[in-house]
Structure 1
């Protein structure tokens, strides 16, 4: 069975150094800079799928309840593919980027998955209430169209949103996903876990002030412990199996550990994979050794077929 590596690869160590020099963390440490980056990124708009993605996958664009939706499928697969609903990260305020598309393409081609990628409305134009209503409808439509329960997942904010969506489906007695795949998920927008500060010192990208600002925009008046925005505080019983990937240089690590403890206590099948020295959403660095190992672990966790 595949297992996480015992220590970071040389490429991962280099990534830590380069990201610390990039200024990303400095921007998230200052709400004014976070907001400036949000406006710049929103003006640029969502990234188009890179050429490498278009070479390996077909991409069909459609709409669902007014949302742009990409359907990404591997070109070389002749048999039926398995549906997967993927929610991208970006702290709920930033659009999809090229790294997201590369990860989506890797997951699609390696597993014969057809991945549905909604470009949900970002804060402050959208919020958790709007997103969960639209994504509930999209999940149900995808299940009806394919005849099987899709897998559901996402990275960072998208991972938190995926868990919140699974909880909503259960609470409304609707058919849920067959598996939850969470990549460095943001599970509590309040970021009040007392174990976060020590990790913050080694995390080269994330910082609490800017993330809390983004989380407040997404909550749009909801209590920060409302499971719709902080699913760590929601009921974890009665959910499908959950697989979580997180690096030890990621301030979301303490909340991921808490999720694993709570899920196990509730009787939910959960696997938490911690990668030493790995950065936030390391799995999106598809050329990294750690990403390749994580993707193999995910394939082992999600059975093939419907």
Structure 2
């Protein structure tokens, strides 16, 4: 049963015109400036009041780390990579997500403002977020990412494996964008009911992000990656999301690779609903909190809408 609050949120998303940004390539390019305002690249005042905020630059781009004002009581550090199709700047719900994790867990959360297309592509974005990861000194490091950020989280994990380096404790993926071409025909059908994303615009953003390589490059489209040897993964996806078919394919590929996957599919939910103030969002984030509090090798806890895949 989809909550009234979720239905209202989906109606507001449709009314806001968010989906029109991804209608087609022309619409995306026309609306880019309002989605890349410089003012979006710094934490809102409300977040700065809640947390101790440290700013540094990595590869010439700002990177913010949030900690409890009374000192970090946890040994956990979360690196979160924001979504937005590689074309949208950090949004208010991303900053709030970082502050909420700090409040819930007493941990540190780092959120980089990474390079965006069309001014940059994957050759700038992936090295920047990898450098952010390399600069984190903590006993427990978890990498989370929503939408395009989920792709970046998997790129970091692949690069660590290629270098023979240890994996993060866990990857947490929220509505991850796993195939920049969105080649699964079922995605075309879901485009009609997705209140937020549109396939044509996403493909244009993905084309620009993949410039200089094939869109099938596993670091660009992790649906094509070898998933063996990666950190345990938790993946959230809703059934109204055009990215759903690729997440289901990812679940099958992870099972074949023997990778531990805690797969959570929520009926009726839209893209990245976890960061919205609705009951389903709070429920999913409660699971994330329990997961990150749990000892590393503790078994996953089944929950609503979940289909955990054993490693």
The TM-score with structure 2 as length reference comes to: 0.90
What is residue 246 of structure 1 aligned with on the other side? 237
Check the 8 A contact 1:243/1:301 in 2, yes or no: no
What is residue 162 of structure 1 aligned with on the other side? 153
Q: 1:130 and 1:180 mapped to 2: Cα distance?
A: 22
Q: 1:298 aligns with which of 262, 285, 288?
A: 288
Deviations 1:214-267 (A, max 9, x none): 111111121111011101110100011101111111111111111111112111
Q: 1:198 and 1:289 mapped to 2: Cα distance?
A: 27
Q: 1:128 aligns with which of 122, 144, 160?
A: 122
The 5 A counterparts of 1:141-290 are 141-142=135-136, 145-146=137-138, 148-285=139-276, 287-290=277-280
Check the 8 A contact 1:70/1:117 in 2, yes or no: yes
Q: Which deviates the most, 47-56 or 271-280?
A: 47-56
Q: 1:113 and 1:257 mapped to 2: Cα distance?
A: 31
Gaps of 5+ in 1: 1-6
What is residue 4 of structure 1 aligned with on the other side? none
Report the alpha carbon displacement of residue 78 of structure 1 after superposing the two structures with TM: 5.4
Report the alpha carbon displacement of residue 111 of structure 1 after superposing the two structures with TM: 1.7
Check the 8 A contact 1:84/1:115 in 2, yes or no: yes
- RMSD across aligned positions (CA): 1.8
Q: After TM superposition, where is structure 1 displaced by more than 6 Å over at least 4 residues in a row?
A: none
The 5 A counterparts of 1:2-151 are 7-76=1-70, 79-142=73-136, 145-146=137-138, 148-151=139-142
What is residue 309 of structure 2 aligned with on the other side? none
Look up the SS of the partner of 2:249 in the other structure: helix
Q: Which deviates the most, 86-95 or 35-44?
A: 35-44
Deviations 1:116-143 (A, max 9, x none): 111111112222122222322321221x
Q: 1:257 and 1:234 mapped to 2: Cα distance?
A: 15
Q: 1:257 and 1:207 mapped to 2: Cα distance?
A: 19
Report the alpha carbon displacement of residue 292 of structure 1 after superposing the two structures with TM: 1.0
Check the 8 A contact 1:152/1:180 in 2, yes or no: yes
Look up the SS of the partner of 1:95 in the other structure: coil
Q: Which deviates the most, 129-138 or 108-117?
A: 129-138
Check the 8 A contact 2:41/2:113 in 1, yes or no: no
Report the alpha carbon displacement of residue 198 of structure 1 after superposing the two structures with TM: 2.3
Deviations 1:140-165 (A, max 9, x none): 221xx22x241001111111111121
**Inter-CA distance 82–35: structure 2 relative to 1 (3 Å threshold):** same
